[in-house]
Amino acid sequence: MLGTFGVWGSHYEWAGKIGEVAELEALGYGTFWLGASPDIALVEQALNATTSMTIATGITNVWQTEPEAISAEFHRLASDRFLLGVGAGHRQLDQAYEKPYDKLVSYLDRLDVPADRLVLAALGPKVLKLAADRTAGAHPYLVPVEHTAEARKALGDKLLAPEVTVVVEEDPVAARAIAREQLAVYFTLTNYVNNWRRYGFTEEDVQGSDRLLDALVAHGSPDQVAAKLQAHVDAGADHVAVQSLNGHYAELAGALGLRR
């Protein structure tokens, strides 16, 4: 359903160019993930622009969208190519943010979407277990390959579809500079910072060190990036959602061996 590789893009970036998703489909990417709690109208536009590609939300924020409303939209679209990803957002960005696990559970209780068409944004063990128990699987964001290996153990045979950020740039200093600038907000978000600490990153690292960026962001030539993406597959990912901070999706498709 998803293919081994897809593309992840914020709706802020893609809202004005949804028609270009068809070009990604032609390159061989199996899924397009609309990020940052997109309006369902953009999902519909992406479905209309494509013929076989899965369109997923990565993610729909449980604090910003009522479960009854998204359930109604899911059934209105009635598309077997729509995968709903939901998640609990960030304490620093969502003023109503409290007890995210309980919120996720109550949201799932009220959500009228088949479990096999639903994934959770999951980083820690508790939410990974919830994803395994009540949905098709997990869609982790901005994680090292070690997290993919641990998530596979936690999920059993459920779907594991991590987002992986990339920069197609052979100069590592330049690549890190692009990543550090565009990912700066994440260094202030406790759910990501706490997750990185689980994998041995220090207080200095989680502010955006070279060591952290090298673990989170696949950078280098298209072939080098492709090898780092394949490492997540080798670690247990069923699907990798590729977010390139500087484009080059066509070159990456070639390096990944996707059809043209």
Torsional class of 36: left (φ above 0), alpha (ψ -120 to 50), beta (otherwise): left
What is the span of the domain harbouring residue 46?
Answer: 5-166+238-256
In this predicted structure, the answer to whether residue 95 has a pLDDT above a threshold of 60 is no
Q: What is the pLDDT of residues 132-178, one digit of tens each?
A: 999 999 999 999 999 999 999 999 999 999 999 999 999 999 999 99
Instruction: Give me the number of domains the chain comprises.
Output: 1
**Cα Rg of the chain, angstroms:** 17
The per-residue pLDDT for 96 is: 59
Q: What is the 3-state secondary structure (H, E, C) of the chain?
A: CCCCEEEEEEHHHHHHHHHHHHHHHHHCCCEEEEECCCCHHHHHHHHHHCCCCEEEEECEECCCCCHHHHHHHHHHHCCCCEEEEEECCCCCCCCCCCCHHHHHHHHHHHCCCCHHHEEECCCCHHHHHHHHHHCCEECCCCCCHHHHHHHHHHHCCCEECCEEEEEECCCHHHHHHHHHHHCHHHHHCHHHHHHHHHCCCCCCHHHCCHHHHHHHEEEECHHHHHHHHHHHHHHCCCCEEEEECCCCHHHHHHHHCCCC
Count CB atoms within 10 A of the CB of residue 75: 10
CA atoms of 134 and 118, how far apart (whole Å) = 9
pLDDT band, residue 100 (cuts 50/70/90) = confident
In a domain, 186, yes or no: no
In a domain, 109, yes or no: yes
Q: Any idea what the CATH number is for the domain that residue 42 is in? A: 3.20.20.30
- The structure tokens listed for 133 are 């128990």
In this predicted structure, the answer to whether residue 94 has a pLDDT above a threshold of 80 is no
pLDDT band, residue 38 (cuts 50/70/90) = confident
pTM beyond 0.85: the answer is yes
- The structure tokens listed for 215 are 């673990």
In a domain, 99, yes or no: yes
In a domain, 144, yes or no: yes
In a domain, 198, yes or no: no
CA atoms of 76 and 98, how far apart (whole Å) = 31
In a domain, 92, yes or no: yes
In Å, what is the CA distance from 169 to each residue of 5, 7, 26, 178? 20, 18, 24, 9
Q: What is the pLDDT of residues 114-130, one digit of tens each?
A: 999 999 999 999 999 99
In a domain, 16, yes or no: yes
The per-residue pLDDT for 152 is: 98
The per-residue pLDDT for 181 is: 97
- The structure tokens listed for 86 are 């939901």
In a domain, 209, yes or no: no
